[in-house]
Structure 1
Amino acid sequence: MEKKKILIRIGSLRHGGAEKVLVTFLKNLPKDKYEIDLLLNLYSGKYLAEVPDWINVLYLNKGGMITTNRIQDIPKKAYRVLYQNLLKTFPKILYSTILKNKKYDVEFAAIHGMRDDILNSPIKSSKKIVWIHNDLRKTEFHNYTDQEIRKFFGFDKIMVISEHIQKDFENLAQNEVEKYKIVRIYNPLNTEEILNKSDASTPLSMTNHQPTFVSVGTVFPQKGFDRLLKVHKKLLDEGYQHQIKIIGDGYDFENIKNLKTELGLGKTAEMLGFTENPFPYVKAADFYILSSRYEGFPTVLFEAITLKKNIIATDVSGVQEMLENGKLGLIVENSEQGIYKGMKKALSNPESFSQYQENLKDYKMPFNLENSVNKIMEIIDE
């Protein structure tokens, strides 16, 4: 049987949730069934090394992400933007050169930012799929209006990762055909791998005797690490001794690091950068904290649930669903004050978290890796 030809597009394979989920999906696909071209805007990122070797990786630009505006970086940055915009405006150039006029059966936008790139494809016969990982009303650079979200109905299938996002799209659907396009799929998550990796030796910095809060995520304003540090400082000033560990990297890393210094938190807050295996840190911590301003469906919470951690999370998209309306962890108001109240409760009354531990004991994930991968394959194949 002839292999189905698929084009997948994403910005890069940096250390983000959507990138991690995409690579997990690719690693679990049967290689004898599909011929996949993975086209990156920028050939960079920690997850590049994990892409299976049978997948053909193509790119528009090479080199690391430029996050500064230093004079010497501006020409390179400008060239990249102009080149990408040229190929976006005249997609036939991209398809005839880099993609060598290949006729794809399926074209797949692995993040919402690739919407127009896929919808403007010169291949009119291909099935077009988009994967929405965020609450589009509250994204980093662009809060989508109803009119902007309606454009996603140009896809044949709209894969969403949470009930909140699903309802938003369903409310904008104008008929049953459009409603049928919306499919909710849990992110592929390898729980067995998480458990195995968490058994690596406990990091030295986690062996102190103070209560420790750990948070994992790309260091963007979205993740609210600035709020976390300010609350940490306030609680220390009130006499609550504890430590914070932030695991992750991103364009806001230096800003958060500077804030840590300004607040005088050199001894109690640690920024560990990106690590390929954050799970021993999560396992060794007393509490997992999600301080995000917005999310789509924070997969990191399922990782914390897998490791049976005490969880404190701001009330963002996906959290009520994942924590079963507060049965599996403490859900706090999405504000600095909410984070403060949650952490203060954890430090002043840790026994109150025993109810969550009880509920986590026999908790079974509502999905597994195989089911999620099979569901996406069904969408590709139907």
Structure 2
Amino acid sequence: MKKKKILIRIGSLRHGGAEKVLVTFLKNLPNDLYEIDLLLNLYSGKYLNEVPDWINIIYLNKGEMITTNRLQDIPEKAARVIFQKVLKEFPDLLYTFILKDKKYDIEFAAIHGMRDEILHSTNQSSKKIMWIHNDLSQVKEYTDEEIRKFFRFDKVMVISEKIENLFLNLAQNESEKQKIVRIYNPLDTDEILIKAEQPVVNYEFDKNIPTFISVGTVFPQKGFDRLLKVHKKLLDEGFKHKILIVGDGYDFENIKTLKSQLGVDETATMLGFTENPYPYFKNADFYILSSRYEGFPTVLFEAITLKKKIIATEVSGVNEMLNNGELGLITENSEEGIYEGMKKALTAPESFKVYQEKMQTYTMPFNLQNSVEKIVSVLNNL
């Protein structure tokens, strides 16, 4: 059987949810069916070493992501931006000189930010797939008109019921509706449980003081600013507790500055990036999702796997993930909602036992094998 030639595009393989999901998918993909080129804008990230050897990695630039505007960093940062913009504006250069005029059967945008790069491909005959991980209705620049551009793809894979409904409501005919397919993110439960048994480093948990952990890329959408403000308010009201934020991102320094401005450096810790966040999950008392918006917060899958007490703002995917509130406390998507959820955890921690009891007998529908098989089916049927 002739292998399908596939080009997959993503910015980098840094420590974000979409990156983790993509690499988990690639690790579980049958290597006898496909010939895959993975094109990165930046050859960087913790997941690079996890990409299977049979997948060919191509990149536009190499090095760590530059998130600051220090004078010494500006020339390299500007050079990368200009180079990538030129290739986006003139795709012939990319396909001729970097991809060597290779003809692909399928071109696959692994994040919505790669929409235009794939749609402007010089491979007119290739089938185009989009994988959407965010609720774009909550992203300011994505008007209905912008979102409708995704219907130019042959298939649009979405990761939650809310995102699926967004696209179905914008579809103008049955043909467009048929392009939308909901596939839950492929995640490896066994890997999470094994890694959680490793020791905690660079942090000390105090069993006498409740710790709320939040894990994610430090972007404004994650709402870490809201979390710290609520933390300060509860401390001022006399509720002893600690906050642990695990992750890195371009908003890291802003959130770190806010932490100092609020005067909570002693009780709130920003651990930064860690290869293995799961021991921190395991040892914390509560997991809190403070996001302003999500697509399908895979971090809750990890928290459920580790049977944590969960508080989450009502964003896309949370009701599905928490089985409509059976597995965790869902709060209003606001600073006040976060406050009420955390206050309940501190004043009535016993009320969370009902969620953990449900988790003991709950079978998650987000099965790794099912998700991979469904994506493979999409690839094979194009």
Q: Secondary structure at the match of 2:36?
A: strand
Q: 180, 183, 186: which one pairs with 1:182?
A: 180
Q: Secondary structure at the match of 1:324?
A: coil
What is the rounded CA distance, in whole Å, between the counterparts of 1:105 and 1:172 in structure 2? 28
Amino acid across the alignment from 1:194: I
Q: Secondary structure at the match of 2:84?
A: helix
What is the rounded CA distance, in whole Å, between the counterparts of 1:206 and 1:106 in structure 2? 48
What is the rounded CA distance, in whole Å, between the counterparts of 1:177 and 1:318 in structure 2? 25
CA contact (8 A) 1:137 1:143 kept: no
Amino acid across the alignment from 1:371: N
What is the rounded CA distance, in whole Å, between the counterparts of 1:202 and 1:351 in structure 2? 26
CA contact (8 A) 1:136 1:144 kept: yes
Deviation of the 1:202 alpha carbon = 4.5
Alignment of structure 1 residues 179-328 onto 2, 5 Å: 179-203=177-201, 205-328=204-327
Q: Which residue is 1:153 aligned to? A: 151
CA-to-aligned-CA distance 1:122-170 (integer Å, 9 cap, x gap) = 111111100000011223xx53011111110010000000101000000
Q: Secondary structure at the match of 1:41?
A: strand
Q: Which residue is 1:93 aligned to? A: 93
Q: Which residue is 1:351 aligned to? A: 350
What is the rounded CA distance, in whole Å, between the counterparts of 1:282 and 1:94 in structure 2? 42
CA contact (8 A) 1:289 1:312 kept: yes
**Residue range with higher mean Cα deviation, 65-74 or 143-152:** 65-74
Aligned length: 380
CA-to-aligned-CA distance 1:43-81 (integer Å, 9 cap, x gap) = 111111211111111111112212122233222222222
Structure 2's unaligned 5+ residue stretches are none
State the Cα RMSD in Å. Answer: 1.2
Deviation of the 1:275 alpha carbon = 1.1
What is the rounded CA distance, in whole Å, between the counterparts of 1:251 and 1:93 in structure 2? 30
Taking structure 1 as the reference length, what is the TM-score of the superposition?
A: 0.97
What is the rounded CA distance, in whole Å, between the counterparts of 2:71 and 2:268 in structure 1? 33
CA contact (8 A) 2:212 2:242 kept: yes
What is the rounded CA distance, in whole Å, between the counterparts of 2:363 and 2:97 in structure 1? 48
Q: Secondary structure at the match of 1:25?
A: helix
CA contact (8 A) 2:38 2:57 kept: yes
Deviation of the 1:206 alpha carbon = 2.1
CA contact (8 A) 1:295 1:318 kept: yes
Q: Secondary structure at the match of 1:205?
A: coil
What is the rounded CA distance, in whole Å, between the counterparts of 1:260 and 1:208 in structure 2? 23
Amino acid across the alignment from 1:157: K
CA-to-aligned-CA distance 1:75-131 (integer Å, 9 cap, x gap) = 222222221111111111111110011110110000001001101111111111000
What is the rounded CA distance, in whole Å, between the counterparts of 1:206 and 1:363 in structure 2? 28
Amino acid across the alignment from 2:165: K
Q: Which residue is 2:57 aligned to? A: 57
Amino acid across the alignment from 2:377: E
1:124 and 2:121 correspond:
no
CA-to-aligned-CA distance 1:246-304 (integer Å, 9 cap, x gap) = 10011111111111122222221111111111111111111100000110000000110
Q: Which residue is 1:170 aligned to? A: 168
CA contact (8 A) 1:217 1:247 kept: yes
CA contact (8 A) 1:160 1:184 kept: yes
Distance 1:5 1:361, change over 3 A: same
Amino acid across the alignment from 1:289: I
CA contact (8 A) 1:8 1:107 kept: yes
User: Runs in 1 of length 4+ with deviation above 4 angstroms?
Assistant: none
What is the rounded CA distance, in whole Å, between the counterparts of 1:338 and 1:307 in structure 2? 24
1:7 and 2:7 correspond:
yes
Taking structure 2 as the reference length, what is the TM-score of the superposition?
A: 0.97
What is the rounded CA distance, in whole Å, between the counterparts of 1:43 and 1:138 in structure 2? 29
What is the rounded CA distance, in whole Å, between the counterparts of 2:252 and 2:112 in structure 1? 24
Amino acid across the alignment from 2:369: E
Alignment of structure 1 residues 28-39 onto 2, 5 Å: 28-39=28-39
Amino acid across the alignment from 2:341: G
Aligned-residue sequence identity (percent) comes to 74
Amino acid across the alignment from 2:130: V
Q: Secondary structure at the match of 2:59?
A: strand
What is the rounded CA distance, in whole Å, between the counterparts of 2:299 and 2:369 in structure 1? 19
Q: Which residue is 1:42 aligned to? A: 42
**Residue range with higher mean Cα deviation, 89-98 or 207-216:** 207-216
CA contact (8 A) 1:220 1:252 kept: yes
What is the rounded CA distance, in whole Å, between the counterparts of 1:116 and 1:267 in structure 2? 45
Structure 1's unaligned 5+ residue stretches are none
Deviation of the 1:208 alpha carbon = 3.5
CA-to-aligned-CA distance 1:291-323 (integer Å, 9 cap, x gap) = 001100000001101111110000111111111
Amino acid across the alignment from 1:321: E
